[in-house]
Structure 1
Amino acid sequence: MSLLGKAAVAMWWNVRPEQRAEFGDWHSHEHFPERMSIPGFRRGSRWTSTDDADGFFVLYELEQYEVLTLRGYLDRLNAPTPWSTKMMPHHRGMVRSQCRVAASFGGGVATSLATIRLSPETGRETELQAQLSDILRTLAPQPGLTGGHLLLTDTPRTSSPTTEQQIRGKDGAADWIILLSGYDAGVVERVVADKLSPPALHVAGARNNPTIGRYRLAFTMTPPDVAAV
Structure 2
Amino acid sequence: MSGAFLALWNDYPSAMTQEYEAWHSFEHVPERLTTPGMVSARRYAAFGDGMNRYFTLYQLEDLQTVEHPAYLDLVRNPTEWSRRMRRHFSNVLRIPAARCAGGGRGVGSCALVLAYSAGTGDARDAIPALERGLGAMVEDARILGFQIGLATPNQAYEVFTQDRAPDEDTLDVVIVVEGLHRWSLERMRDEVAALIHRCLRPRQPLREDLLDLIVAFRSNEFPADRRQIPNSSRLFGAEPARGTALDFAAKGAEERPPPRDEAARPAG
Q: TM-score, normalised by structure 1?
A: 0.85
Which 5+ residue runs of structure 1 have no aligned equivalent?
Answer: none
80-89 or 200-209: bigger deviation: 200-209
Is residue 2:145 matched to residue 1:147? yes
TM alignment of 1:74-223, pairs within 5 A: 74-121=72-119, 123-154=121-152, 160-162=156-158, 165=159, 169-171=160-162, 175-194=172-191, 196-197=192-193, 199-207=194-202, 209-210=204-205, 211-223=207-219
Alignment CA distance shift 1:28-1:155 (3 Å) = same
Question: Counterparts of 1:101 and 1:206 in 2: how far apart (Å)?
Answer: 20
What is the match of residue 64 of structure 1? 62
CA drift at 1:102: 0.8
**Structure 2: which amino acid aligns with 1:204?**
C
Give percent identity, aligned residues only: 23
Number of residue pairs matched? 217
Question: Counterparts of 1:172 and 1:10 in 2: how far apart (Å)?
Answer: 17
Contact 1:119/1:207 (8 A) holds in 2: yes
Contact 1:136/1:149 (8 A) holds in 2: no
Is residue 2:16 matched to residue 1:25? no
132-141 or 121-130: bigger deviation: 121-130
What is the match of residue 44 of structure 1? 41
Question: Counterparts of 2:47 and 2:144 in 1: how far apart (Å)?
Answer: 19
After superposing on structure 2, the runs of 4+ consecutive aligned residues of structure 1 that deviate more than 4 Å are 50-53
SS at 1:145 equivalent: coil
Alignment CA distance shift 1:126-1:170 (3 Å) = closer
CA drift at 1:121: 4.3
Deviations 1:57-100 (A, max 9, x none): 11111112221222121121111111110101111111111111
SS at 2:86 equivalent: helix
**Structure 1: which amino acid aligns with 2:161?**
K
What is the match of residue 7 of structure 1? 4
Contact 1:115/1:212 (8 A) holds in 2: yes
Alignment CA distance shift 1:60-1:6 (3 Å) = same
Contact 1:36/1:223 (8 A) holds in 2: yes
SS at 2:183 equivalent: helix
Alignment CA distance shift 1:85-1:161 (3 Å) = same
CA drift at 1:208: 5.7
Question: Counterparts of 1:172 and 1:104 in 2: how far apart (Å)?
Answer: 30
Question: Counterparts of 2:88 and 2:219 in 1: how far apart (Å)?
Answer: 26
Say which one has the larger Rg.
2
Structure with bigger RCO (C-alpha 8 Å, 6+ apart): 1
CA drift at 1:200: 3.6
Q: TM-score, normalised by structure 2?
A: 0.73
Which 5+ residue runs of structure 2 have no aligned equivalent?
Answer: 165-170, 224-228, 231-268
TM-align CA RMSD = 2.5
CA drift at 1:144: 4.8
Question: Counterparts of 1:47 and 1:225 in 2: how far apart (Å)?
Answer: 19
SS at 1:59 equivalent: strand
Contact 1:50/1:214 (8 A) holds in 2: no
